[in-house]
Structure 1
Amino acid sequence: MKKPVNFDEYTETYNSLLTQQTRFFASGEEYFSHYKVAIVRDEVKSPPARILEFGCGIGRNIRYLRDAFPDAEIMGSDISAKSLEMARSENEGVRFWCEGVDEQPDNQQFDLIFVAGVFHHIPPAQRADVATTLFSRLTPGGSLFVFEHNPFNPVTRRIVDNCPYDEDAVLLTPRNLSNVLRQGGLRVERQAFALFFPPRLKALLGLEPFLGWLPLGGQYWVKATR
């Protein structure tokens, strides 16, 4: 078993490392946050009242979730207490808690749970348990969106192999991830590949929604419901 990465060690350097490692796809880390949240915004059928980002890290996706869903109550959780300190400082008015340390506030359920780049850090034997936890935190009819690295993309694999905070990564195929979510009781509704073109190729970005079937994108996403 690979040794788990201690994300407390990367709190101060996470954004710069991400920008360096992913420069093929984008010139800045904010591109990925905006890109993923835009997919979720376009996919949800009705505005969620309560949103959780599970594995929020330093909170870089939170402001994009707030922009996309301005009327929603948003919370974030993570296993890295130090990352959460930064997330709190950058996202006033958002509630955060540390998984395995703090109790979930009011034992609430959420209409939307957003999970980006988390499952490949979870040991395979523990993934079904995490999926069960996510199921329990969803409201009936609520939606879960999970974004993961695409192991079929050679550029993605190279990035993961050379990224310091991906030393513990065990990548999942879309089928692997869908099976894990089903083991947790979730209903998988859709999956699609994404991140085909870097933003410098703006003329081609409009094609991405039509290429979700093609297993060449840098990442993929799965939507599941309770």
Structure 2
Amino acid sequence: MSDFDDYALDYEKRMHQTLSFALTSEQYQAEYKSKLIKRYASRSRKISKILDFGCGVGLSVPSLQENFPEAKIFLTDVSEVSLNVVRQKFDAVTVLKAELETDEKFDVIFMSTVLHHITAKDRFKIIEKLKLRLSNDGCIFIVEHNTYNPLTLKIVADCDMDHDAELVSIRDLKRFLTTECSLKVVDSGFCSFFPQPLKALAKIDRVLRRVPLGGQYFLVGAGCRDEALNRSIHCPVLGCFC
């Protein structure tokens, strides 16, 4: 992983510089992804506990709190400096060490552009650890960069925080989650088709979700404990706001 301790104190400034090229902002991206989780969650389960795994400096917190006002928000990251920033900025959240030495079970474990900072050989043990922290009908909600989008590839290549990035395609990640991690991918698609100035068009992302041109993609992985549950949360018209 990148040593995000080196980036934590000016992380938002770095993100602003990176995303300005794509005519978007870190706040907009956070809101976008929270709305996607909300749309998915409203069709599957009551969300009482959310873990943002790889939370950085907590950019997701305001939008998660807005979209899930009744849920308890937990955050963790490998960067202790980042977690200290979170502790100073937010009171109504629970910060956990990256080792996840907790008995808590989560309805949603959210990983937003985190996996590409984890080496391919370490991804299995990370996902296995997260599976142990899922509630009975919980899911791992992953957002990653679309390897088929040339603009996305340029943004990643130009970002110093992504110097160690090992991008993974939606096809390869889906195969990894199902065959190696024994998760059921109950939904997936491409997203982030429109920049912030055209956010009104985000409503049609659901129509474009099979078109491999979005800036990112999402995968929803659930345990195979209950096939009836898996059928109930598979939604072919899932809206895409990431």
TM-score range, shorter chain: over 0.9
* Paired letter, 1:85: N
Q: Structure 2 matches for 1:44-123, cutoff 5 A?
A: 44=41, 45-100=44-99, 104-105=101-102, 107-123=103-119
Q: Does 1:130 align with 2:126?
A: yes
Range 88-97 or range 200-209, more displaced: 200-209
Question: What SS does the corresponding residue of 1:71 show, helix, strand or coil?
Answer: coil
Question: What SS does the corresponding residue of 1:206 show, helix, strand or coil?
Answer: helix
Q: CA deviation at 1:202?
A: 4.0
* Paired letter, 1:92: D
Corresponding position of 1:198 = 195
Distance 1:94 1:180 in 2: 31
Question: What SS does the corresponding residue of 2:197 show, helix, strand or coil?
Answer: coil
Distance 1:64 1:141 in 2: 23
5+ unaligned residues in a row in structure 2: which ranges? Answer: 224-242
Q: Alignment length, in residue pairs?
A: 220
* Paired letter, 1:212: R
Q: TM-score, normalised by structure 2?
A: 0.87
Distance 1:38 1:201 in 2: 16
Question: What SS does the corresponding residue of 1:146 show, helix, strand or coil?
Answer: strand
Q: In structure 2, which of residues 199, 208, 211 is the aligned counterpart of residue 211 of structure 1?
A: 208
Which structure carries more relative contact order (alpha carbon 8 Å, separation 6+)?
2
Q: In structure 1, which of residues 157, 161, 183 is the aligned counterpart of residue 157 of structure 2?
A: 161
Distance 1:15 1:157 in 2: 21
After TM superposition, the runs of 4+ consecutive aligned structure 1 residues lying more than 4 A away are none
- CA-based RMSD: 1.4
Q: Does 1:33 align with 2:25?
A: no
CA spacing shift, 1:172–1:12, aligned 2, 3 Å: same
CA spacing shift, 1:129–1:208, aligned 2, 3 Å: same
Q: CA deviation at 1:98?
A: 2.3
C-alpha contact 1:25 1:195 (8 A) present in aligned 2: no
* Paired letter, 1:187: K
